[in-house]
Structure 1
Amino acid sequence: MSSSPLASATFWLLLMNTTWPSHVHNTAPTPRGCASRARGSPNSSCPRQRRSATSPDQFVPRKAASYYDLLGVKSDASADEIKNAFFDKSKKLHPDSNPSNPELHSQFVELNEAYRVLSKEPSRKEYDLKIQHSYQGRQAFGSTSGHTVYRSTTTNDNVHYWEQFRHAQSPEATAEERKQKKKRNFRLVIYCVITMVLSVGAHAVFFRKLEEVHNSFMDEKDRAITELYNEAKERARANGFKKQTEILRQKHADFQEKPEF
């Protein structure tokens, strides 16, 4: 049964004006044989599939360097070599040298932390022991734990960033701190000497005054004894020997007659 020409024209007009979903236009069938061809072959005419930007194999873990590697020195480097290496690298990694590079901030913080630890003998020994224990742990548990864990949170980074201004950042700052420390020690010695001199002076004045009081007391006592002696001598001369003897006998008798308690 055939349709009329008017009905056919109406059908094709509706078909042309119909809005199809976007996936119908954009979806193309996969040609046969593409699955069996070698992947990545240069002669393949099959469309290549885009790898996702967040594919796990694109994230390569950055191997964490030790503090010696950050400064570019050997583990047996001297203090001067560490100081010079820090001074050279701090110029290159300072955030102000290239404000458009956001990585300089974290690198500069790690560099300051490395110098803070390795510039002092006690903290350097402690860090060397940690490295040694970490190496032994990697041998025991495998190579998967062979990376140093860094604190990368924003809070810790800010703390370390501001702590760099409290620690030595350059040889000039270290020399200035040593100079200030010598001045403080010298002042402390001067204060101790002044305190000792004042203490000795105060003790000398105190003993001098004590000696004067003691001499005054002894002189007064000696004067009273001398007066008693002179009075007794004058009475003996005035009364005569016999009279004085009678007076002494009378006093002795009165003393013996006193009742005993």
Structure 2
Amino acid sequence: MSCSVNTVVATPIGKIAIIIDDMGYNRHNQSFSKLPNPITFAILPFTPYSQKIANAAHQQNREVILHIPMQAQSHNHLLGKGALMEQMTKQYFQHVLSHGLADIPYAIGVNNHMGSKLTEEIIPMQWTMELLSKRGLFFVDSLTTAHSVAESSAVSAGLPSLRRHIFLDNIRTSAAMDKQFQQAIEHSLKAPYTILIGHPYPETLQYLSQRLGAPNKDFQLVKLSQLIPEKQRVMLENKKVQYQQEKQYNLLYPLTTTSKIQ
């Protein structure tokens, strides 16, 4: 007597993380809080709504990263307050980055705003990753230049290596964004993960609301931190705790402490 067994072959499904850049300038940015929880907000420092958006995102258990302005090849007048520039000394560079982090509550990482010039420079990227490593934060290379050394600098500093793969909304039509999103799905099937970056445009909000509100079996929407291997996540958390303990100690004993928290 024979019997047959039906085998179900699972359809491959990729991991996609979405970041919304440039948050903080407009109160209407808060409308993006309606989007699914795994979507990360990258918030510009010293903008009118930066802290309000960061706090509201944290209340949603949504991940927040600092969207730090970095020197570009051109149009640097658009960088805004708190920009990192190549002519800065190491001490001032890390001071500016520290202040940017202080302005964005609950930031678990950093990605670059513009930065097509600075991310090509090894020394400033080493300074960036050195400070982030001490604080237990990770870096996402927005990849605004093909010659960026940010990702390799992060690896050298022992930080998780993450980078943007696709921009969603360079063209703000539903058809164009759908094409970009489909590319992200296809990429996610061939790579460990795909990072998709959008911006706080009304068209982007409308598209993502419809696309992510529909039934989906093509991909898994994940939080940014889920792209980091568990061992590295534990390492970052331990460094974060150590940094906070040292910071607290220096506040309690400022006259006897010789170390300086950056």
Q: TM-score, normalised by structure 1?
A: 0.28
The one of the two structures with greater contact order (alpha-carbon pairs below 8 A, sep at least 6) is 2
Select the structure of larger CA radius of gyration.
1
Structure whose residues are more often strand by fraction: 2
TM-score by length of 2: 0.27
Of Structure 1 and Structure 2, which has the larger fraction of its residues in helix?
Answer: 1
